[in-house]
């Protein structure tokens, strides 16, 4: 693949903007909310999995995709379990099993425990659970592809403090998973058990100790770098910033409501655009209070536009397909029919594979052997 490797060579300037990955992943998640067709949802999952397998860097925070997949499977199983135990008002004729029904008081009308479990109820619950699972997997793809620290550098100055909190929250789970994997590998090398209740307890304590030490180190680093320091701005600028931000957010809410209702279709889009403009202007003015510089900022290049545009195209085309052919994208369960794969919506989903062919190759860092004094490798005596 000479041409592909040529595109993927270079230093930091060749790396893709992390915001493009988030826009691509959120667009795929938006497309997943437009359909309950299990074939299209499976195709969306396969698309995100292929892109993650191709473009994911070798970093601790990039290993969270598997955890999101497991979480999505757990959500799907819980949704099916609720459908079996709590039942559904959905009528059905294909009874699979009849469970003992628990009588409930009169104030719990509409809820039942046990009773008949029909195929229609299970299929409906599977469709809804798979849609939510696909959305979670798309968010997991963004966590695995976008470097959170580089994403923080790209935020406007007014959102910097909030962005730090979000980045710390997003990196907690991947770092925790990496610590667990390193500690279990160290215990296996030393011939100690790493499974079962005993292994879980002996792994959990050093992992929590490492998380606490990392939090203290992060707080000290943020304090040394002047986190929270603001500049003095005139009161007039502060009032203008507050008015633009609040007015812009209210305009966004009113415009979104107008687009979602039939009566507000005429004023929805202008109000939404006006609100977005005012909110962006408020963020621009609010950035004057943040005293920080950006070292080697990420550039939004042509590849970033193509990656974000491919995801936006998938979301737009599936939204259009949901309005033109709702039966194909949302198959019914009464009567119970097998879902079919609509051709042009499936082809639209395949547009999401574009980042796998145009994004720069992930750079593999030099291998590092954890020190025995590392918090993640410490074990209780």
**Averaged over 224-248, what is the pLDDT?**
75
> Based on the domain organization, do 276 and 351 belong to the same domain?
no
Q: Could you give the angle at which helices 235-260 and 268-286 cross, rounded to 10 degrees?
A: 150
What domain range includes position 243? 232-289
pLDDT at 199 over 60: yes
* Residue 164 counted as domain residue: no
The bridge status of strand 113-118 relative to strand 95-102 is antiparallel
What pLDDT score was predicted for residue 371? 44
Return the percentage of the chain with pLDDT > 70, whole number. Answer: 71
pLDDT greater at residue 192 or residue 368: 192
> Based on the domain organization, do 305 and 273 belong to the same domain?
no
What pLDDT score was predicted for residue 369? 42
> Based on the domain organization, do 36 and 133 belong to the same domain?
yes
> Based on the domain organization, do 143 and 236 belong to the same domain?
no
Task: Return d(Cα 314, Cα 44) in angstroms, integer.
Answer: 10
Q: Lowest mean pLDDT of 84-88, 123-127, 220-224, 299-303, name the range.
A: 220-224
**Averaged over 118-139, what is the pLDDT?**
90
Gyration radius of the chain over CA positions: 25
The number of beta carbons lying within 10 Å of the beta carbon of residue 299 is 11
**Beta-carbon contacts of residue 219 (< 8 Å; ≥ 6 apart):** none
233-238 long-range contacts, CB within 8 A, separation 24+: 233/288, 233/289, 237/285, 237/288
> Based on the domain organization, do 35 and 120 belong to the same domain?
yes
* Residue 93 counted as domain residue: yes
Among 263, 289, 315, give the residue marking a domain's end.
Answer: 289
> Based on the domain organization, do 88 and 114 belong to the same domain?
yes
Q: Return phi, psi of residue 146, to 5°.
A: -95, 125
What pLDDT score was predicted for residue 381? 43
Q: Lowest mean pLDDT of 55-59, 126-130, 267-271, 335-339, name the range.
A: 267-271
* Residue 272 counted as domain residue: yes
Task: For residue 87, give the H/E element and its range.
Answer: none
Task: Return d(Cα 83, Cα 280) in angstroms, integer.
Answer: 44
* Residue 373 counted as domain residue: yes
**Averaged over 100-114, what is the pLDDT?**
70
> Based on the domain organization, do 36 and 77 belong to the same domain?
yes
pLDDT-based confidence at residue 375 (cuts at 50, 70, 90): very low
**How far is C-alpha 73 from the geometric centre of its chain's CA atoms?**
15
Structure-derived torsion over alpha carbons of residues 92, 98, 99, 101, reported in degrees to the nearest 10 = 70
pLDDT at 132 over 90: yes
pLDDT greater at residue 78 or residue 84: 78
pLDDT by residue (tens digit) across 90-106? 776 777 777 777 777 76
* Residue 189 counted as domain residue: no
> Based on the domain organization, do 279 and 308 belong to the same domain?
no
What predicted TM-score, i.e. pTM, was given to this entire model? 0.67
What pLDDT score was predicted for residue 167? 64
> Based on the domain organization, do 14 and 95 belong to the same domain?
yes
Block residue for tokens 């203008």: 240
pLDDT by residue (tens digit) across 155-180? 666 666 666 666 666 666 667 777 77
* Residue 213 counted as domain residue: no
pLDDT by residue (tens digit) across 287-311? 666 666 666 767 888 899 999 999 9
Q: Give me the number of domains the chain comprises.
A: 2
* Residue 205 counted as domain residue: no
Task: Return d(Cα 281, Cα 220) in angstroms, integer.
Answer: 33
The number of beta carbons lying within 10 Å of the beta carbon of residue 14 is 15
- Buried-state track 368-377, b at ≥16 Cβ within 10 A, e below 16: eeeeeebbbb
> Based on the domain organization, do 269 and 329 belong to the same domain?
no
Task: Return d(Cα 238, Cα 221) in angstroms, integer.
Answer: 29
Peptide bond into 278 cis (omega under 30): no
The number of beta carbons lying within 10 Å of the beta carbon of residue 269 is 13
> Based on the domain organization, do 336 and 281 belong to the same domain?
no
């Amino acid at each position: 693949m000479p041409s592909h490797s040529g595109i993927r060579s270079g230093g930091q300037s060749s790396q893709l903007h992390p915001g493009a990955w988030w826009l691509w992943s959120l667009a795929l998640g938006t497309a997943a909310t437009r359909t309950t067709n299990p074939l299209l949802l499976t195709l969306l999952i396969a698309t995100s999995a292929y892109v993650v397998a191709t473009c994911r860097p070798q970093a601790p925070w990039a290993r969270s995709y598997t955890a999101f997949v497991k979480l999505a499977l757990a959500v799907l199983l819980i949704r099916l379990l609720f459908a079996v135990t709590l039942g559904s008002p959905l009528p059905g004729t294909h009874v699979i099993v009849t469970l003992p029904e628990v009588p409930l008081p009169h104030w719990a009308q509409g809820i039942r425990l046990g009773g008949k479990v029909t195929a229609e109820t299970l299929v409906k619950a599977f469709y809804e659970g798979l849609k939510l699972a696909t959305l979670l997997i798309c968010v997991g793809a963004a966590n695995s592809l976008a470097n959170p620290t580089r994403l923080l550098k790209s935020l406007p100055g007014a959102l910097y403090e909030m962005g730090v909190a979000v980045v710390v929250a997003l990196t907690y789970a991947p770092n925790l998973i990496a610590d667990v994997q390193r500690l279990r590998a160290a215990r296996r090398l030393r011939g100690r058990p790493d499974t079962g209740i005993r292994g879980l307890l002996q792994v959990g304590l050093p992992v929590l100790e490492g998380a606490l030490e990392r939090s203290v180190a992060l707080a000290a680093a943020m304090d040394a770098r002047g986190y929270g320091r603001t500049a003095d701005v005139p009161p007039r600028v502060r009032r203008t910033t507050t008015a633009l931000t609040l007015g812009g957010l209210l305009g966004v809410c009113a415009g979104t409501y107008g687009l979602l209702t039939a009566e507000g279709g005429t004023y929805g889009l202008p109000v939404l655009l006006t609100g977005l403009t005012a909110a962006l202007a408020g963020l621009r003015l609010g950035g004057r209070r943040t005293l920080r510089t950006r070292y080697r900022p990420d550039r939004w290049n042509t590849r970033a536009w193509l990656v974000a545009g491919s995801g936006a195209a998938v979301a737009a085309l599936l939204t259009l397909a949901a309005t033109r052919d709702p039966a194909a994208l949302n198959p019914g369960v009464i009567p119970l029919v097998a879902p079919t794969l609509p051709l042009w919506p499936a082809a639209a989903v395949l547009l999401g594979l574009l980042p796998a062919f145009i994004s720069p190759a992930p750079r593999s860092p030099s291998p590092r052997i954890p020190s025995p004094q590392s918090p993640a490798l410490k074990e209780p005596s």
